[in-house]
C-alpha cells in the first residue's frame, strides 16, 4: 500500500471536519459582532480547502504528490483559520506569524498539486 493510499482516510476526516467548521464559522460570522470578518475569513478558508482535501483523497492513487499537497493544505488551513478564530475569540492569535505561515503552507500545497502533473503515477 502506497503512502497516498494510507493517508487518504486522514484526508477524508480532515475534509469533513473542515466542511463542518466552515459552515459553523459562517453561521458565527453572520451573527457575530465587530470582528466577524475574521471568522468569515476562517470559514472561507475551511470551505475552500475541504473539497480540495476530498479530491486529493479520492485521487490519491493517481497523483503521487497528493500526500504532500494534502498535508500542506491541511496544516496550513488549520494554522490560518485557527489563528483568525483564536484572534477573534481569545484576543490573541496562536503564535506570531501563524496566519502567514499557514497561508504559505497552503500555497505550497497547491504548488505540490501542480508539480504532480510532472510526476508519473506508479
d(CA 79, CA 85): 10
d(CA 26, CA 32): 10
Residue 66, all three cell numbers: 497528493
- Mind listing the pLDDT tens digit for each residue in 7-29? 999 999 999 999 999 999 999 99
Domains defined along the chain, listed by start: 3-118 (1.20.120)
d(CA 118, CA 122): 13
Residue 21, all three cell numbers: 467548521
- Mind listing the pLDDT tens digit for each residue in 70-98? 999 999 999 999 999 999 999 999 999 99
- Say what the pLDDT of residue 122 is: 66
Mean pLDDT of the 30-53 span: 93
Amino acid at each position: 500500500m502506497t503512502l497516498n493510499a494510507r493517508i487518504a482516510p486522514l484526508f477524508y476526516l480532515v475534509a469533513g471536519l473542515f466542511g463542518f467548521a466552515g459552515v459553523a464559522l459562517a453561521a458565527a460570522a453572520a451573527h457575530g459582532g465587530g470582528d466577524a470578518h475574521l471568522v468569515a475569513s476562517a470559514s472561507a478558508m475551511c470551505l475552500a480547502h475541504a473539497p480540495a482535501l476530498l479530491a486529493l483523497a479520492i485521487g490519491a492513487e493517481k497523483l503521487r504528490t497528493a500526500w504532500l499537497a494534502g498535508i500542506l493544505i491541511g496544516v496550513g488551513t488549520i494554522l490560518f483559520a485557527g489563528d483568525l478564530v483564536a484572534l477573534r475569540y481569545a484576543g490573541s492569535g496562536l503564535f506570531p506569524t501563524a496566519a502567514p505561515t499557514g497561508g504559505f503552507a497552503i500555497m505550497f500545497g497547491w504548488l505540490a498539486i501542480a508539480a504532480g502533473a510532472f510526476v508519473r503515477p506508479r
